Structure 1
């Protein structure tokens, strides 16, 4: 069967030209105003698909005859999702979707400013009358007003403030100036009791503005009307996605007290009906997956600020004189804007609709493309489609839409492909759920494979392991995350929690403390051993193997055998490897799980031995003699490296000898310099005619000659020491092995 379909993501295009028009005018323009003459048809909810991403898909279906109208109401917060996702279908070859109309939401300030009297911002009486200058009004003043008749009729001239006496004071008062038959009158607004507009158009505008204000207070519900055109009775359907509470799951896990039967898993889904109507016999499906969903404001009219261009004013022309100007490529003088492109009108293209913006209309719910069972279809599963008709309809719809869009940019009308990895729970029987009520629906009830274990993690419980179960999801269903209540036989055993579990995936759950088993972890002494020494251009690289041990002493004081799973920190990312240790049964990013069976009343130990290599680098320098002797003493150093290090020590000895000779010369120079200071001091204190004076002079002269010789020698030894040190440093910098 072929069908007529309208995807509501095209509604903003139609809304751009007709959202401000009333429904009667819109349908009249389409030649279908007769639809409003018939009572509205009710389409009950027939299918509900809930996602655990915060949205729900709702489908309404039923029969209509001839031209029909379906009226729906939605909370204002759901209108954006409705405009984004609604899909309409008419399953008859003679029927079609005519139009969709909904309450417009013009910004209240913009709507009020469109009336002759602008009530934006709660204006005062003076502010209202100030907008109506030139309009005729009838005014009734209070009987206490001096020199004023009871009623006045005149034209509003304006509002002014005057200083008027009030007893012993003079106060500011607002005064209405009227042009009456007898002349200009001033009426204090405080004396005005009633005021009526003589112009019926102004009065109508005022009433309409008040109606808009009143309607803006009731913004909880918005009306949406669906119009179908055709002949005879036929089936129609509407589907849409709106915000909905996520469905939740809880499980019961029944363990056999004698450990002879397989564990039995029972799962329940908790769903809510947040709508304002009852669900009576609806088909329900629960999808375990997280499709991407977002909100977009499609309901509020959007306006673009446009520049205001002042018209050019021309004075009378004077005699024109011309001067030479630049020429364009055609040889014509051009004195316009510097950039010719600036003179062209800029037309903004319609924004491109994102791929798949048809929501569930293409390749999804009821779209023309097929898909896996995990993708929901809009039509019931018993509806058979004709592939050729669907393809022909899609082509015709695409051409019609492109024509309406005036060659604008639009998204694909149908997009097929699986998004995400969904799993669907289809409730076998129709669901009846009153409005604003919740329900528990069974979704899983099967035996699963499982084995009891005791799980020990010192970070969770330092002394005792936790009673748990290693189970395999053999239920054939994806298990959504949720709490699990565990029973042993008919006795409550504890609570636990499980994350999402795929079919045939294994998972651990723990539900109580195993008081009959005790674990005592003890860290071993460990050891360190250098395993490799290598030199590269004066840098010595060493690798030290660090071995660590941890022993878990397990005591089973219960009357049954235990299988203990030891959770040991996983440090493989730190290049730590296991040695002389059984392979773990589980390898997770956080822990390694080792299995240790312990008989009843017995004690056993389990040792985890780990090794890691620690690399260090030491740069050999001219003060690295102790380091060189240390590396020479290592058995791990190669003979070639030891030979080069020994040669380095010999070169170091040569440098040390040159340095010693230099220090000796420098020491002798310091001694002679100090002795000369002593002699000069004595000369200053000794008379020239004394015999010892001449002795001091001769000794001072001899020392000067000796100092000259030592100075020359110091230069030689300094050069020799520098050459020896450079030779040593260069040798160290080039040691490689």
Structure 2
């Protein structure tokens, strides 16, 4: 009792002395830096920024005192992102000296450290093979057996009905007496390992298997060393579920031109930490991000190099040098290198940002980095007119600064900043409001060439300073649900059609009409390439039939065609990159018509060929453009002459064939009547046929040469032709 009382008094005195402030000296700073950090402290989540590409920016912050250990729990999958992006900032002169986490060696690497050689999911046969040669005790199969396990084998058994099975396993055991015994493995048989070291190995194996079930939780510990009370901020990114936007569009009963747009965001907390009163921002952007398995130990395959060996040689003898020859033996100098002491390496390290609206001092996380003064601290306003948020993205000054939510645009995406803190516990989801605006909205019927079913729609105009993110919406009219649809991003000042239900009383019919087509230009270039340009107009009438009891405004969407413009008589209510929209009011039980006309250039291409009959197209072209008649006439006249020569050659070739036949027949008759007086007549016919055939062949040869010369002449003309004509009414675009 006296010993316990004395010990308690000693502890009291020690505690009292420890509570007195000690003078700060150089030695005390060194001792403080080497002291063991205090109890591990949780660092709560302070800010969350969620992005549309499935990543989130998280910031933990809290007060620490002296040397402090801070712990944050993650999953193995999250830890990979954390190791890529972790940033730890101390508000004063403290420094983060170490960041550690429980490593997880891959299970196959851990199992290699055991002598059993069992894989992760071993079959029964593999377990018994691992026990071969070990002492075991087998009970439940008659007399207990004690000895070394020799093997396990399958045996084929045949029952009394002649059926054969191979699912019988038998253990072969060499007993201590030297006998080999066999025991069938059944549900009642047990095998016990006798060797304690083998039992430990098997227990270690099962322990490794069990430990892999707990590797999903990774404990990250940061050791922050310093003096006094400070603020520590830890930030990182992590993969998260994509946040979703959903909207409600409500038409009040007493309003026909405005609608209330209410926006919500569906947010899921899956990071393993509670979000208690966090500053939540939702970014409709997708910064580039990727995953590297940094948290997993990486094993590289090393090449296996064979050990080099020296071949043994047979001893040899060598003749001696002559005695009168001087032998010079150089002095052997031992060469070495003085090792220079390693130079000290300075680490710039990471720097912490001081808090406060007037600016702060960046304190180095490492002792050799000098402090740097910045113009603004966390959450402060800089002189440049921009406000910094924790995600490293800057907001423009023209954004809203009042209300529950404001949006900021930067680069090609925007974000919603919730003014009120949000609480979402881990493994829970929530809907948070992001906007509510009273906007102009016109109820219309939408008909499109790509979707022939008419739809009820609203023409919504974004007159607010907010950007509406992509999402789904629901329409409520007269206090009841009216339909649903999808919404693409709508920026301030934009007007967008949103369809939500079929409009069955409306039908739209199309009636094509004949348009105009006038030639605008003609060009004939080298090798006779003909290009004709027309100014063409297409016309279509759309009839909208309204069978409803109330009037409708039908919005007709017509596809835009490349290089075509609306005719002056058509006025579109709205022009999109790929279509026109026209407003067509239709009274109840009436039909209204809309004329659509567009115009633009049309082209025709063809090639003048000296060997093809193209006289008619050339003559038509000269009639279509009388100004080209003098230039085109030599071309089609030359081609007409070639065509006539080809026709004459065809006639001569047919005549030559006929004369050849007559000559053959006369020669055959003359042979049959040889020595007869009648043969004289066939001799005269044969001579005449030969004369005609020779004359025809000469004419064919001459005409063939003439036709070749005409073709070559026309070919040479086409190589140098250059004809261009433009209509006085043609515009540069039509040409």
Instruction: Report the TM-score when normalising by structure 2.
Output: 0.69
Map of 2:541 onto structure 1: 551
What displacement does 1:507 show? Answer: 1.8
8 Å contact kept, 1:622–1:729: no
Alpha-carbon distance in structure 1 between the residues aligned to 2:137 and 2:643 = 122
Q: 1:145 Cα deviation (Å)?
A: 10
Q: Where do 1:389-400 residues align within 5 Å? A: 389=363, 395=369
CA contact (8 A) 1:289 1:420 kept: no
Give deviations 1:82-119, integer Å, cap 9, x for gaps. 222222233232x3223222221111121122245544
What secondary structure is seen at the aligned counterpart in 2 of 1:634?
helix
**Deviation of residue 444 (structure 1)?**
0.8
Equivalent residue number for residue 459 of structure 2: 469
2:434 paired residue among 443, 450, 461: 443
Conserved 8 A contact 2:132-2:151: no
Query: 2 CA distance for matches of 1:494 and 1:415?
Result: 38
Which residue in the other structure is 1:504 paired with?
493
1:96 and 2:95 matched? yes
Conserved? CA contact 2:95–2:366, under 8 Å: no
Counterpart of 2:130 in structure 1 is 127
Q: Which residue of 1 aligns with 2:281?
A: 285
Tell me if the contact between 1:486 and 1:495 (Cα under 8 Å) persists in the aligned partners.
yes
- Which residue in the other structure is 1:34 paired with? 36
Q: In the superposition, relative to structure 1, how do residues 225 and 174 fare at CA in structure 2: closer, same or farther (>3 Å)? A: farther
In structure 2, do the counterparts of structure 1 residues 108 and 557 end up closer, same or farther at CA, with 3 Å as the change threshold?
closer
Q: Deviations over 1:618-648 (max 9, x none)?
A: 333344254256326523242xx31243334
Equivalent of 2:238, from 234, 237, 242?
242
Task: After superposition, give the CA deviation of every residue in 1:527-555 in whole Å (9 maximum; x if it has no partner).
Answer: 44444333334333323443210112345
Query: In the aligned structure 2, how far is the partner of 1:653 from the partner of 1:266?
Result: 78
**Deviation digits for residues 127-147 of structure 1, max 9, x if unmatched?**
3465x8xxxx8x76879999x
Deviation at 1:568, TM superposition (A): 0.7
Distance in 2 (alpha carbons) for counterparts of 1:98 and 1:230: 10
Contact 1:486 1:494 in 2 (8 A): yes
Residue segments in structure 1 that go unaligned for 5+ positions in a row:
1-29, 163-170, 179-183, 323-360, 369-378, 399-413
C-alpha distance in 1, partners of 2:438/2:467? 14
Structure 1 residue 249 displacement after superposition: 2.0
Per the alignment, do residues 396 and 530 of structure 1 end up closer, same or farther by CA in structure 2, a change over 3 Å counting? same
Residue of structure 2 aligned with 1:427, choices 404, 418, 422: 418
Displacement of 1:304 in angstroms is: 0.9
CA distance in 1, matches of 2:296, 2:697: 98
Contact 1:291–1:420 (Cα < 8 Å) also in 2:
no
Q: Residue 569 of structure 1: CA displacement?
A: 0.7
Question: Partner of 1:212 in structure 2?
Answer: 208
Mapped partners of 1:285, 1:244: distance in 2:
14
**Equivalent residue number for residue 46 of structure 1:** 46
Partner of 1:478: 467
Q: TM-score, normalised by structure 1?
A: 0.69
Cα pair distance change 1:645/1:300, threshold 3 Å: same
Q: Secondary structure at the match of 1:41?
A: strand
Q: Work out whether residues 66 and 229 of structure 1, in 8 Å CA contact, stay in contact via their aligned partners in 2.
A: yes
Aligned residues: 607
State how far apart, in whole Å, the 1-side matches of 2:206 and 2:650 are.
109
Rounded to whole Å, the distance in 2 between the matches of 1:551 and 1:172 is: 90
* 1:113 and 2:112 are equivalent in the alignment: yes
* SS state at 2:288 partner: coil
What is the alpha-carbon distance in structure 2 between the residues aligned to residue 246 and residue 424 of structure 1? 14
Question: What value does the CA root-mean-square deviation take over the aligned residues?
Answer: 4.6
Which of the numbers 625, 629, 637 marks the counterpart of 1:636? Answer: 625
2 CA distance for matches of 1:484 and 1:613? 42
Cα distance in 2 between the residues matched to 1:388 and 1:82:
23
Tell me how far apart the structure 1 counterparts of residues 554 and 524 of structure 2 sit (CA, whole Å).
48
In the TM superposition, residue 302 of structure 1 has moved relative to its aligned partner by: 0.8
Post-superposition offset of 1:194? 4.8
- Over 3 Å counting, the alpha-carbon distance change for 1:728 and 1:461 in structure 2 is closer
- Note closer, same or farther for the CA distance 1:528–1:321 as it changes in structure 2 (3 Å cut): farther
Instruction: Kindly indicate whether the alpha-carbon contact (under 8 Å) linking 1:109 and 1:120 is maintained by their aligned counterparts in 2.
Output: yes
State whether structure 2 residue 460 is matched by structure 1 residue 460. no
